[in-house]
Amino acid sequence: MWRISASENPVSELRWSARVNQNTPPEFVHGLTSALAAEWSESSDTFLAPPSYRWTDAVQPFIDAGWERKPLSRGIMEIISPDQLAGVSIDVVNTDPHADVYVLWAGPPGWGTRAEASFTARTPGHLIAAMAAAIVDPRPVIRTKALLNPRLAQLAQLAPVPPPRPVPPTPRDVQRQTARRPAAVGTSSVPRWSTSTLLPVGAGGSLPPRRR
C-alpha cells in the first residue's frame, strides 16, 4: 500500500493525498512519483497548485487513447478501456476536498487482481494524468510468470524473455583469476637407479668409515 500526500508545510492541513493499493504495477506508481519528483524544488510549489476546473484534464490520456466515456450515473462519470479491464471513475458532485474523487483501476475485481489508485479532490490534474499515461502505455513489461496471478496471466499476452548473454571477462578479470591460483608445490627427485632415500647433507649425514 502506497500513500502520498502534500501540504504547504509539515504542520499544515493536507492539500491532497493519493492511495495506491498493493496490486498496482510499479510502472503506474512510477508514472506518478517521477512526475512529482521532476517538478520538486525549494522554489516550486506546482505540486500544490489547485486542480483545473475541467475534470477531463486529469484523465486526458484515457480520452486520447479512445477509451469509452460512460453516461453520468448518480454523480459518477466513468471512462472504460475497450477490453473493459481498466478505467477511471470520477465523482463530479462531491464537494468534500478530502474525498476520493478520482479512482483509477485496472484488472478484474478481486483482492489479488484489482489495482486501484484514488486521489482526493484537490490533487493537481497533471499528476493524475501522469499515472493515466503510464496505464495506457503499450510498451511490454517484464514479469515473473510464477509470481503472476493466474487470472491475470490468462488475460495477458505472455512471451518468454531469453536470458542475457554472459559478459566475457576483461583482461583485468583474467589477471585477478590468475593471481588467485595457488603456487605449484615443489618436489625433490631421487635417482631412478637408487632404492634408497637421499640422506640429509650436514652433521651426521656422512657414511661411516670403512673397516680394513
Note the pLDDT tens digit of each residue in 55-97. 899 999 999 999 999 999 999 999 999 999 999 999 999 989 9
- Quick one: pLDDT band at residue 1, thresholds 50, 70, 90? confident
Residue 179: its pLDDT value, please? Answer: 76
- Quick one: pLDDT band at residue 195, thresholds 50, 70, 90? low
Q: Answer whether residue 112 shows pLDDT above 70.
A: yes
CB 62 within 8 A of CB 52: no
Q: Answer whether residue 42 shows pLDDT above 60.
A: yes
List the 100-106 sheet strands across, edge first. 2-7, 14-20, 115-120, 100-106, 86-91, 76-80, 68-69
Q: How far apart are CA 8 and CA 45, in angstroms?
A: 8
Number of Cβ within 10 Å of residue 23's Cβ equals 17
Exposure class string for 137-167: b at 16+ Cβ within 10 A, else e: eeeeeeeeeeeeeeebeeeeeeeeeeeeeee
What string of DSSP letters covers 124-138?
-HHHHHHHHHHHH--
This prediction has a pTM of 0.74
Q: How far apart are CA 1 and CA 39, in angstroms?
A: 24
Between the CA atoms of 26, 29, 35 and 39, what dihedral angle is there, to the nearest 10 degrees? -110
Q: Answer whether residue 118 shows pLDDT above 80.
A: yes
Q: How far apart are CA 40 and CA 63, in angstroms?
A: 28
Contacts of 90 (CB under 8 A, 6+ apart): 55, 58, 59, 76, 77, 78, 79, 101, 102, 103
Q: Answer whether residue 192 shows pLDDT above 80.
A: no
Domain residue ranges of the chain, discontinuous segments joined by +? 18-155
Judged on CB neighbours under 10 Å (0-12, 13-18, 19+), 208 is exposed
Q: How far apart are CA 131 and CA 61, in angstroms?
A: 9
What does DSSP say about strands 14-20 and 115-120: parallel, antiparallel, or unpaired? antiparallel
